[in-house]
Amino acid sequence: MFRGLLDWLRSLFWSTTLDVACIGLQNAGKTSLVNVLTNNQFSESMIPTVSVPLVAVLVLSAPPRSLPDSSLLCLRRGFNLRKIQKGSVVRLSFYPILDPRIFLLADLAPRRPFPHRAQTLKVWDLAGQPRFRSIWERYCRGVHAIVWVLDSADRDSFAVARAELHALLDKPELRAIPLLVLANKNDLDDHATVDEVIKALALSTITNREVSCYSISAKSSRNIDITLSWLMKRSH
């Protein structure tokens, strides 16, 4: 029953036009969450977003036969982009580590016009390691929502997460973009509650946008339904 409801929500999610940036420190569970939201797949053995072998990129990002929107294929190091276009062409792209040397692929022009306005779901899954944090802002500009993923069982990371989150939200270009904080891994003992996370990340001091916070588990799919509903309400 619950699984059926979640699958139904997931199918609705695919039919939305939504652009989301998924941000957070390394190991928070961003890629796991995106996989669960879109495909209902969870894996214990995730490869950090930055260290997926290049060979996988070359296979996954081989030029598609028709490319509806080449501008979206801006290939850069340090993120995954999951995107689907619904229409006569369905495309699901998942770009792991992207090397500037293959930037060339981004210049591919559409081979034929896209037949009608597509519904698009784009989820930027940005690498969390310190050297990649400077690219976060660029991929957050213009999105419908910023999703901040936190490992709620890793209390030692909260101070850094708070500093990075507030530094990002202070960027004027990101003003007013709704924020969803997901306290992930609530299947683990000693995870922080929503109230603890609100306090630890000083969420009540963020006043220039709508802020929500849920406790979730990508692993056990806990509260994935309300996460999907929240996201769909921000779609256009």
Ligand X SMILES: Nc1nc2c(ncn2[C@@H]2O[C@H](COP(=O)(O)OP(=O)(O)OP(=O)(O)O)[C@@H](O)[C@H]2O)c(=O)[nH]1
Confirm or reject binding of residue 157 to ligand X (CB under 6 A).
no
Answer yes or no whether residue 30 interacts with ligand X by CB under 6 A: yes
Beta carbon of residue 41, minimum distance to ligand X (angstroms, whole number): 11
Which of 10, 14, 27, 54 is close enough to bind ligand X by CB under 6 A? 27
C-alpha separations of 117 from 68, 71, 145, 231 in Å: 10, 16, 21, 21
- Among 29, 81, 143, 201, indicate the residue that binds ligand X (CB under 6 A): 29
CA distance 36 to 3: 12
187 marked among binding-site residues: yes
Interaction with ligand X in 166-205: which residues (CB under 6 A)? 184-185, 187-188
| DSSP E strands, 49-154 | 79-86, 91-94, 119-126, 145-151
161 binds ligand X (CB under 6 A): no
Answer yes or no whether residue 225 interacts with ligand X by CB under 6 A.
no
Is residue 154 left, alpha or beta, with left meaning phi > 0 and alpha meaning psi from -120 to 50? beta
**Cα dihedral: 142, 172, 136, 120 (round 10):** -10
Interface positions with ligand X (CB under 6 A): 24, 26-32, 44, 46, 48-49, 127-129, 184-185, 187-188, 217-219
